Amino acid sequence: MTDILVMDQVSKSYGEGDTVVTALNQVSLRVGKGEFVAVVGPSGSGKSTFLSIAGALLTPTSGRVMIGGTDVTAVSPGKLNRVRLEHIGFVFQSSNLVPYLTVIDQLRLVAKLAKCSDQIANDRAVELLKEVEMVHRMHHYPDKLSGGERQRVAIARAMMNDANLILADEPTASLDSKRGRAVVEMLAAEVKSRQKAAVMVTHDERVLDLCDRIVTIKDGVLISGDGEHSHNTVNQTDRMTAATR
Amino acid sequence: MFLAIREMKHAKSRFMLIGLIMVLVACLTFIVSGLANGLSAATTSAIKEMNTDYLVFQADSDNKLNRSSLKEDKLDEIRAQEGVTAAAPLIQTMLTVASEQADKKVDVTLFAIEHNSILMPKVTEGRSLSGSGNDEVVVDASLKAKGVKLGDSLHIKDTDAVLKVVGFAEHQSISHMPVVFMDMEGLNSLMTSLDQRMPNLNAVAVTGDGAIKQTLTDKVEGIQIATKQEALKGIPGYKEEQSSLSMMLSFLVVIAAFVQAVFFYVITLQKTNQFGVLKAIGASTSYLATNLIGQVALLAIVSVALSIGLTFGMTSMFPDTMPFELGVGVLAPYSALLIGVSIVGALLSLRRIAKVDAIEAIGRVE
């Protein structure tokens, strides 16, 4: 299995001298094709920093990040938007759709940015909206959609540029458990069928069973990154979920 | 422009309101500039239209026609100078005349000239001064609006003298008064009939090669020589009128710049988070900047175009006698200026867009 996302000994610290705060400490992670990884941890543990670095939004202090074979730590900050456009699809927390674009235009915008032809973009957008069951709403504006529908559009948008890596930042944050689960199910299904590598930062334990692997960040350190351990975690979570039912 | 147009469509009312303000400011700019242009013409057109390079005044007359007084022999002296191709005498005096037919009194400025000299304006209707009929006059076409027609007689107030209108000339106005052109001989016989002495010359119009200004200043005593442009400044009230209007115009342009700059700045501040998301999904700063400039330019161009229409609509309701002149020569530079300052104002917002970090998109709940 080829690894899409490779994070090698990545550290990020803020401040200087005595006031240095280390947000991430020597974090390494590999995510392969068709693999859906959940990153959990208490707030302030460095989850956001982790995702920002994996998403080429932030440059690490040390270490290396490879996305689809490209060393993004070597790319100049001015060109990072290009890397994000071509290699990464984002699903953010709530309402990160552009308010004045209709559902289909949200997707077409990504194609515009990539300078893709209109006809191809249209076909692809419609196909993706069918997959996330939003095609009947494609001429609506985001303010007419429910939270779950918006996240489904966001998933379709993340797939639009056919990126290898999908990053999701608390995609269930503003949803109730049923809708949240439906959104993550949809995300997992897309990741599997399209063979993407996906990383989801979340604190919603009810959706962890949909992930292949769970890693925990605590105080900037990745605790459970290896396969075996994570399977235990999944099993534990399963049991927990079963117990709460 | 993908984003620009969709946003403007979606937030129609917002953009229409700011566009309306722009239309009104631009409209006011055009009307004030038309007025400045019209007033300038009403005050100076008779001098502006003169077919001459220089005007010679008496020394220390501040280039004012009514202050200047030149003896007949100065004219001969000027004519004798090397390089002078033509020199034409001019006597100016104010009159109040009443048209016999229209029964209405009008203040006019009388320009007494030699009928075959360079100062004779182009006659657009009727005929030119013949030089034989002593009471003949060619008058400014604006008198037509006061009911004066070809062949009419104009009574000079407080006298029995009558002037006969034989022709009309366009754009002959000075200090808001229409100019009446009369032959020098005609004025002479008029003065004789009124038992008055022929007045001195007020100025001499001179054409010639480039060196004549220096030659005349050196060789002829007691005169000063002015270009047409300098002579305009000597017309009473002209400078004051124009400078107050141009001050208004510069304020309007500054206001137009600020209205758009502030509007787009506030909108940009509101959208900081949205710009973060757009940058995170791969939009470059230059893509977002192009869209912003596109919006600003589109709004400015449409507003200016609408306001040109509105201005012409409004001016068609102005009375004919109002000194108002609006042409491409006025509209084009002010339109370009208004659109230009709008785009310069948008640079303020561009700085904000450039500063937005894509990382704003992460870890944010709204």
Burial B157-194 (b: 16+ CB within 10 A, else e): eeeebebebbbbbebbbbbebbbbbbbbbbbeebeeee
Any idea which of A217-231, B152-166, B207-221 has the lowest mean pLDDT? A217-231
pLDDT at B306 exceeding the cut of 60: yes
pLDDT at B213 exceeding the cut of 70: yes
| CB contacts, 8 Å: B4 with chain A | none
Sorted by sequence, the CB contacts under 8 Å of residue A158 that are 6+ apart come out as A89, A90, A91, A166, A168
What is the structure's pLDDT at B133?
Answer: 66
pLDDT at B102 exceeding the cut of 80: no
Q: Looking at chain A, which residue has its C-alpha nearest residue B277?
A: A96
What is the structure's pLDDT at B193?
Answer: 87
DSSP A170: S
Asked if A92 lies within 8 A of B278 by C-beta distance, the reply is: no
From residue A209, alpha-carbon distances to A189, A214, A216 in Å are 13, 9, 14
Chain A residues whose C-beta is within 8 A of a chain B C-beta are 47-48, 51-52, 55, 57-58, 80-82, 84-86, 90, 92-96, 98-101, 105, 108-110, 112-114, 141, 157, 161, 169-170, 173-174
What is the structure's pLDDT at B363?
Answer: 63
What is the structure's pLDDT at B194?
Answer: 86
Residue with tokens 């003065």: B191
d(CA B178, CA B169): 10
Burial B262-289 (b: 16+ CB within 10 A, else e): ebbbebbeebeebbbbbbbbbbbbebbb
pLDDT at B145 exceeding the cut of 80: yes
B28-42, pLDDT tens digit by residue? 999 999 999 999 999
DSSP readout, B30-95?
HHHHHHHHHHHHHHHHHHHT-S-SEEEEETTSTT-TTT--B-HHHHHHHHHSTTEEEEEEEEEEEE
Q: Looking at chain B, which residue has its C-alpha nearest residue A141?
A: B10
Residue type present at position B337: L
Do A184 and A206 contact (CB within 8 A), yes or no? no
Q: How many CB atoms lie within 10 A of CB A28?
A: 13
Q: How far is the alpha carbon of B170 from chain A, nearest alpha carbon, in Å?
A: 57
Mutation site for A-interface testing, chosen from B271, B281, B286, B288 by largest number of A Cβ within 10 Å: B281
Q: Looking at chain B, which residue has its C-alpha nearest residue A102?
A: B6
d(CA B208, CA B272): 67
Q: Which of A96, A115, A119 is nearest to B284 (CA)?
A: A115
What is the structure's pLDDT at A63?
Answer: 92
| CB contacts, 8 Å: A90 with chain B | 280-281, 361
Do A6 and A65 contact (CB within 8 A), yes or no? yes
Average pLDDT over residues B64-89: 90
pLDDT at B100 exceeding the cut of 80: no
Any chain A CB within 8 A of the CB of B360?
A: no
Any chain A CB within 8 A of the CB of B103?
A: no
Residue with tokens 């670095």: A53
pLDDT at B261 exceeding the cut of 70: yes
| CB contacts, 8 Å: A82 with chain B | 282, 284
Per-residue model confidence as pLDDT tens for chain A (245 residues): 578 999 999 999 888 888 888 888 999 999 999 999 999 988 888 888 899 999 998 889 999 999 988 899 898 888 888 899 999 999 988 658 999 999 999 999 999 999 888 899 999 999 999 988 999 999 999 999 998 899 999 999 999 988 899 999 888 888 888 889 999 999 999 999 999 999 999 888 889 999 999 999 988 898 865 444 444 444 444 444 444 44
What is the structure's pLDDT at A227?
Answer: 45
d(CA B203, CA B340): 44
Sorted by sequence, the CB contacts under 8 Å of residue B41 that are 6+ apart come out as B48, B171, B173, B323, B325
What is the structure's pLDDT at A235?
Answer: 44
Asked if A101 lies within 8 A of B282 by C-beta distance, the reply is: no
Any chain A CB within 8 A of the CB of B284?
A: yes
What is the structure's pLDDT at A232?
Answer: 41
| CB contacts, 8 Å: B283 with chain A | 81, 85, 113
What is the structure's pLDDT at A94?
Answer: 67
Average pLDDT over residues B149-170: 90
Say yes or no: ipTM exceeds 0.90: no
Asked if B284 lies within 8 A of A100 by C-beta distance, the reply is: no
Q: Which structure tokens are listed for B16?
A: 């229409």
What is the structure's pLDDT at A18?
Answer: 82
pLDDT at B103 exceeding the cut of 80: no
Residue type present at position A237: T
Q: Looking at chain B, which residue has its C-alpha nearest residue A83?
A: B282
d(CA B282, CA B277): 9
Average pLDDT over residues B195-221: 89
Asked if A100 lies within 8 A of B9 by C-beta distance, the reply is: yes
Q: Mean pLDDT, chain B, as a whole number?
A: 90
Mutation site for B-interface testing, chosen from A94, A109, A162, A174 by largest number of B Cβ within 10 Å: A109
| CB contacts, 8 Å: A150 with chain B | none
What contacts 24+ positions apart, CB below 8 Å, involve A119-128? A124/A160, A125/A156, A125/A160, A128/A156, A128/A159, A128/A160
Asked if A81 lies within 8 A of B283 by C-beta distance, the reply is: yes
